[in-house]
């Protein structure tokens, strides 16, 4: 039978600003188990003049831990027994809860989508009404909340060593995809034994693009079911939501990120339906949406979205039949 676990956020259970396959797991679970993971979000510079109360563990992490390479405070890693390189880790987002009644947004000089237009530092500390599920901005608008984790990741390939938490790559990381909320199933290629899953960068709400550098950042708790699929290969994370199949591409060049996401979608559709790649390409031109995930993390993101109701009648294999297929097929 599957078990349920709890992983709290503390100086002993987070890594700040980096991913590394050499990190020791802070929790080990079995495939199919659920784990409830607490996270915190925000460096000291993001919280200057904060008019709200910080979580005690957030304060302790600021006091006892130091950032390395990047800004994000990430809880984990969680090892999953039996996961091996060449497998696929399924991360089912069972639930997400807001942990606090405030969030923050920051503009930084030389960062964001329009750095020349906004060479400033601006901090917004925004109240959150959890009962109404809205945030009220200081200049008036109320925004309905749609929480998700900006960072979900497995360990990167060992050859990379320690890498920054900023850039999303094949291990996932700082994906910042607002579609990956409650009910989403996200799949990650496994690079090390145990997979080593980590999560953080809680977002109360975000627009596609995350254009000024940050979303409405906040601290979240997530419940995840982690399942290993042995011997299934993938080159990049992909996802299935209640309505869509989603593939992703990351690159410094936005055009190339779009090409990567589209190629992944064509591969996935071809494997699942048996259609030739040219047919899948034509289908995508009529039924696939390319959306900008984020513009601000060095490696820009594009996600390709297809409503799976359009594909379900034509599936000859499940979406997880991800063995490589010839591009001429």
Domains of the chain: 4-229 (2.60.120.580), 243-314 (3.10.28.20)
Those residues with Cβ within 8 angstroms of residue 225's Cβ, 6 or more apart along the chain or in another chain: 2, 32, 33, 34, 90, 91, 92, 94
Residue written as token pair 């060449």 = 86
Cis peptide bond N-terminal to 77, omega within 30: yes
pLDDT score at 316 = 86
pLDDT at residue 325 in the model: 36
Percent of the chain as helix, strand, coil, to the nearest 5: 15, 35, 45
* The pLDDT value given to residue 321: 52
Under a CB-based contact definition with an 8 Å cutoff, are residues 112 and 121 in contact? Answer: no
* DSSP one-letter string for 173-188: EE---TT-STT-EEEE
Residue with tokens 């900023």: 166
pLDDT at 233: 86
Token pair for 178: 């607002």
pLDDT at position 119: 97
Where the chain has pLDDT below 70, the residues are: 320-329
Residues contacting residue 45 through CB under 8 Å, at least 6 positions apart: none
How confident is the model at residue 329, as a pLDDT? 36
Burial class (CB in 10 A: 0-12, 13-18, 19+), 3: exposed
The pLDDT of residue 169 is 98
């Amino acid at each position: 039978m599957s078990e349920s676990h709890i992983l709290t956020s503390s100086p002993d259970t987070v890594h700040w600003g980096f991913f590394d396959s050499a990190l020791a797991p802070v929790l080990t679970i079995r495939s199919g188990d659920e784990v409830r993971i607490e996270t915190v979000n925000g460096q000291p510079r993001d919280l200057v003049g904060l008019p709200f109360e910080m979580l005690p563990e957030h304060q302790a992490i600021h006091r006892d831990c130091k950032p390395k390479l990047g800004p994000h405070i990430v809880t984990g890693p969680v090892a999953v027994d039996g996961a091996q390189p060449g497998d696929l880790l399924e991360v089912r987002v069972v639930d997400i809860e807001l942990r606090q009644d405030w969030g923050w947004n920051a503009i930084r000089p030389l960062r964001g989508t329009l750095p020349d237009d906004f060479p400033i530092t601006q901090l917004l500390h925004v109240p959150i009404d959890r009962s109404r599920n809205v945030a009220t901005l200081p200049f008036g608008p109320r925004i309905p909340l749609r929480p998700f984790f900006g960072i979900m990741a497995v360990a990167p390939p060992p050859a990379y060593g320690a890498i920054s938490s900023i850039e999303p790559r094949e291990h996932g990381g700082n994906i910042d995809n607002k579609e990956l909320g409650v009910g989403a199933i996200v799949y990650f290629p496994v690079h090390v034994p145990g997979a080593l899953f980590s999560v953080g960068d809680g977002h109360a709400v975000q627009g596609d693009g995350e254009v000024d550098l940050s979303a409405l950042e906040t601290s979240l708790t997530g419940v995840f079911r982690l399942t290993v699929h042995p011997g299934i290969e993938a080159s990049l994370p992909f996802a299935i939501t209640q309505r869509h199949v989603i593939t992703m591409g990351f690159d410094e060049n936005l055009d190339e990120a779009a090409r990567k996401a589209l190629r992944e979608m064509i591969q996935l559709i071809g494997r699942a339906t048996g259609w030739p790649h040219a047919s899948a390409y034509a289908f995508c031109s009529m039924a696939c949406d390319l959306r900008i995930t984020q513009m601000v993390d060095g490696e820009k993101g594009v996600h390709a979205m297809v409503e799976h109701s359009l594909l379900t009648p034509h599936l000859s294999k499940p979406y997880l039949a991800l063995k490589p297929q010839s591009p001429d097929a």
